[in-house]
Structure 1
């Protein structure tokens, strides 16, 4: 289940809540019970490496070398 980050306008607390994507825009109460909150923009970090493509067969993939 996705986690969404919110900020409370009343006390300034930033908090997260897990909820279905269909409820992402639904209002959220902060841990102190205030209801004047706003959903913060999501940030996604993708890490990992992918091997670089290596040409095979000579100068241009083997099609021009004979």
Structure 2
């Protein structure tokens, strides 16, 4: 189940809530009981098991040469 991070505007506490994706936009109350919270944006890092960085695709044209333009 996804975890969403919130910050309380009243006390400044940051907390996480686990909930289904369909409830991602629902408000969350602070553990201290405050209702004025805001959902924080978080970044997701996805890594693979492949080798190092991949080279940029080569080719010409507006879309990498695949459309024949």
Q: TM-score, normalised by structure 1?
A: 0.72
| Distance in 2 (alpha carbons) for counterparts of 1:39 and 1:7 | 7
Show structure 1 runs of 4+ deviating over 6 A: none
- After TM superposition, give the deviation of residue 7 of structure 1 in Å: 0.2
Query: What residue is the counterpart of 1:3 in the other structure?
Result: 3
Which sections of structure 1, spanning at least 5 residues, go unmatched? 54-66
Q: How many residues are aligned here? A: 53
CA radius of gyration, larger in: 1
Question: Within 1, Cα distance between the matches of 2:6 and 2:23?
Answer: 13
- Output the TM-score relative to the length of structure 2: 0.69
Q: CA deviation at 1:45?
A: 1.3
Give the corresponding residue for 1:26. Answer: 26
Unmatched segments (≥5 aa) in structure 2: 55-69
Cα offset, 1:42, TM superposition: 2.0
Deviation at 1:43, TM superposition (A): 1.1
